[in-house]
Amino acid sequence: MKAHTRESQATMTPQKSLQFLKEGNIRFQNNLKANRNLLEQVNDTSDGQFPFATILSCIDSRVSAELVFDQGLGDIFSVRIAGNFVNEDILGSMEFACKIAGTKLIVVLGHTSCGAIKGACDDAKLGNLTKMLGKIKPAVNAVKLPENPKLRNSGNIEFVDAVAQVNVQLAIDNIRRDSPVLKEMETNGDIMVVGAMYNINTGEVTFM
């Protein structure tokens, strides 16, 4: 499989880009990697890059977007931060990726058993981590059940995963609210913004 070129990127639509990722995740789940020569792709992308998707995911070592979607060099922009939330720096990166570099799809990818989500659920305090986890607290507060405070912590994995899903949706809401550039592109059909959850037990990505 060759690296994307300006010509192949131009043929990609938001829907086709999403389908590429879905097919890649199926290959990943079945341990059937696409045939790529990565060193050849290094050479092919040395004069430019033409990725088709931008993926915001967690820094979790088990959730590498390139691997779980079976993509090669030059295929995707990968933005990673604990808890996969957005701030103005990440929004600026996404605006570059879509408006300037031509990607057709933004995926906010959460995952099960997320450590950052667990920290926010437990109201963890540690240096700069405290302020970072504060950006995830709105998702914790948005999940109303269970009401019992003793069940609203990292020991309740169903609660943790429910918060992770809400956190993905809130990130998408923030993209649309805080980036007029991306909002306009989505309204015009130039890009699509979608959420997804990666299951660390099965390797499956479920799109929301």
6, 45 contact by CB (below 8 A): no
Residue 60 is labelled as binding a ligand: yes
4 is in an annotated binding site: no
98 marked as binding residue: no
184: left (phi over 0), alpha (psi -120 to 50) or beta: alpha
Token digits of residue 115:
């450590």
Name the nearest CA neighbour of 40 among 91, 3, 94, 81.
3
Encoded tokens for 15: 């829907």
- Across 62-77, b (16+ Cβ under 10 Å) vs e yields ebebeebbbbbbbbbb
- Annotated binding-site ranges for Zn(2+): 58, 60, 111, 114
